[in-house]
Structures are given as C-alpha cells and as structure tokens.
Structure 1
Amino acid sequence: MTYSGVVTTGGPADAHELTDLIISKVSVGPMDNNAYLLRCRATGEQLLIDAANDAPTLLTLIGADSVASVVTTHRHGDHWQALAEVVAATGARTYAGAYDAEGIPVPTDVPVHDGDVIRVGRVELTARRLVGHTPGSIVLIFDDPHGHPHVFTGDCLFPGGVGNTHADPVAFAELIGGVQTKLFDALPDETWVYPGHGKDTTLGAERPQLPEWRARGW
C-alpha cells in the first residue's frame, strides 16, 4: 500500500516501507502527537521516536518484538507522557538531546549531541541539535542509501513553518538559522519530513517558503 503519512488520533498506523527500514507512524493524544516506530529489516530491532502519550497504543504498535531504544525529540511534556510506562514495559534505552534531558522526568541513558549517531539494528540515524523551540531539541536523519533522506523533526519543522518560538525574535532566529543550515542547506528537496504533529512534507515543498517565514518572524 502507498504511504500517505496521514493518521488520526485513535486510528491505525501508516507504514512507510523502505529497503532497509520500516517506519510506522501513529497519532496519539494529547495534541495530535505523532510517534514513529522504526524497524530494521535486517535484524528486526526497533526504535521508537517520541513516546508521546497512550502507552497501550504504543505498546501494541511495538508488539512482541519489543523495542530497544526510545528517542525523545525534546523536553515538552506532550512528547514524553507515555515514556515511563513504555520504558518500564520494554526495558528500552532512552535517548534525548543533552541540553533537554534535564527537563524530561524519565532518566536519559544516552545524552545526544549534535552529530551523534543512533543505531537501530544496521541502520544509522544522525542527530542534529536545533536551538529555539527548546534548548536541546534534536532531529534524526536517515540518509537512505537506496533513495532519498528521511528526517524526523519533532517540533522544529512542520508543513508551513518552523516550530513555536513564542514570539521571541532571538529564539526564532536561532531556530530558522539551524533549520536552514542543518536541513535545507544539507539535504535535497526529496528529503521526506516526519514532524511531531500533523501531516508529513518534503524539504522541496517547504523550501520556497523560507523567505516568507523569515519575513513574518514565525
């Protein structure tokens, strides 16, 4: 089946099947939060991005093979409300940005720095730190050797704009500057973007809007 990236809270997951990786997207509360389960095809190892809420839904998605790791993209509470329960049920290692870990009530086993590599089976994900939405938000980039890159952006990039910087011009400048240099300048238009809320997009679809985003300041 063709992947659309369109999911609804309480509805079924949508799976993006790549050569080396299966990406399953599900929406949970409290704010149409997206969680992503990544499964290495070669080894069966799994990694969850953002145990946002509704642990039973996430544990059902994870299934009997359990999950080796859970990555939290940033410290905001709507992205980790099910983290304690998922970790208790699975024994998963926890990852979070080094500068956001103190704001997450579940201990972070592996603090993540800009450029660090996180592995799920034989698949490598490169973490990039983006400042502005929070001090230590991380995005994860899978540079698919069989196709185009895929990037999990948390609340740093959405269709139509960057994440909320609460009308702080300094924070906005930091965030849009980081998004420009670490994502738009580094990755091709075909790069698929999986945000922390709502629908997916591509860098190519969003790139023409960058000047407008800068002009409006959000």
Structure 2
Amino acid sequence: MSEPVGAVPDVRELHGLTITKVSVGRGDNNCYVLRCRATGAQLMVDAANEPARLLDVCGGRLDAVVTSHQHWDHWRYGLAEVVSATGATTYAGAPDADAIEVPTQKRLEDGDIIAWGDSSVEVIRLTGHTPGSVALLYQDSREGSHLFTGDSLFPGGIGNTFGDPDLFASLFTDVSTKVFDRLPDQTRVYPGHGRGTTLGAERPSLAEWHARGW
C-alpha cells in the first residue's frame, strides 16, 4: 500500500476486512479505513486532512475514528468535520486525549479492544513519540497480523523522540517488547506517513536503531 498524496486510494482485501489507504494533506498523512466485510461497519484511523475526500472514501458512513496520537497533523484538518458528518465514536490514547480539540469519547489503554461490526483490533500503547500513542493490531485467521502504527514505527526506524534519550528508550523498549518480540515477521505495518513495511524487513535493523539512538 504505497500510493502518493492525491492518488487513487490503495485497497487491500483480507478475508474479514477491507483496508483502504489514502494519503492526505501536505504532510503525506496516511488515513486508513477498515471495513468489516461481513457487516459493512467501518473504522477510520487518523482523520487527518481533506475531510471531503475522507468522507468520499468511507461513503459518508463511519462507526469509529481512532486518532493514533495527539500531534495536530493527525486530526486538526479533518477529524471534526468527519465526526460531525458521520456521528462516529472517537477514540484516542488516554494520555493524549486532552490535547486533541475534538472530544475523545473513548480513552484507550494498553490491551483494550475496539470492535465494529464483526471486526476488532487490539490497542497497543507505544509510549515515546507522544505519551499516549497507540498502535492497532488486527489479526486475520487466514492472512496474519496487520499493525497500524501511527508515528511510532516506520520503515527504517521508530518514531521521532526529539533527541530525548528517555523518550527514545521508552519507545524503543515498547516497540521491541510489544511488537517485535510478540509478532511474526510476516506482520504488515501500516505507518502514519509514507510507505508500509513488514516486521521481517525491519527486524534485522533493531540493533542499529538502538545504537544510533533514533
């Protein structure tokens, strides 16, 4: 899933879920729409920008919107209008919720389950890029694990921790123990910007990331 900003949305069909990726705004923010194939219910990850385009992608129907973290580029120019138009329930990590100007109805903790239709994702807290950053894990019985990581994990490294060694240590530890130690190499990673990757492609670089400190 690798389309540039402004391109036709990229679609991946799984046994139980259809994943649509669209890149919006000048920051190349990725928005993902997860549609339950059994019921048609939909969850959006990061209603970042271009709300008219996002509403077109989801057909104007949403059950939930999850904001992966508090940074303004992931919600400021799209979330309010998308929620107003659809009535979707809003979710965000508990420590980040107060920094998001659109009210968060469901404050997420590590291990929470978000369900829509017959589909669900597990919340994985990855603390460091922000205090309440969350990743969402979808596991398909036929087609493996799919992880939506916000700005906490990208091809080539973990998220920006702004030169703070304590934040880096926190995020690196969380990504290492909660993601790489738990999930298989085939796990697909869907980041908040740019192209996706797999855990297998990134795993050999963990020691390098730790040594460089970013």
Is 1:205 aligned to residue 201 of structure 2? yes
Query: Matches of 2:117 and 2:203 in 1, distance apart?
Result: 32
Aligned to 1:40: 36
* Unaligned stretches of 5+ residues in structure 1: none
Kindly provide the CA deviation profile for residues 34-77 of structure 1, in whole angstroms up to 9, marking residues without a partner as x: 0000000000000100001010110010115x001000000000
CA positional deviation for 1:147 = 2.0
CA positional deviation for 1:120 = 2.1
SS in 2 for 1:67: coil
CA positional deviation for 1:180 = 0.4
Kindly provide the CA deviation profile for residues 70-126 of structure 1, in whole angstroms up to 9, marking residues without a partner as x: 000000000002000000110110000011001100000100000000012111100
Q: How does 1:39-78 map to 2 (within 5 A)?
A: 39-64=35-60, 66-78=61-73
TM-score between both structures, scaled by the size of structure 1 = 0.97
Aligned to 1:116: 112
TM-score between both structures, scaled by the size of structure 2 = 0.98
What letter corresponds to residue 72 of structure 2 in structure 1? G
Aligned to 1:19: 15
Query: Matches of 2:187 and 2:128 in 1, distance apart?
Result: 22
- Give yes or no for contact 1:30–1:78 (8 Å, CA) kept in 2: no
Query: Matches of 1:189 and 1:144 in 2, distance apart?
Result: 15
RMSD over aligned CA atoms reads 0.6
Identity of aligned residues (%): 57
User: Which 4+ stretches in 1 moved above 3 angstroms?
Assistant: none
Query: Matches of 1:11 and 1:135 in 2, distance apart?
Result: 32
Aligned to 1:181: 177
Query: Matches of 2:157 and 2:50 in 1, distance apart?
Result: 27
Number of residues of Structure 1 aligned to a counterpart in Structure 2: 213
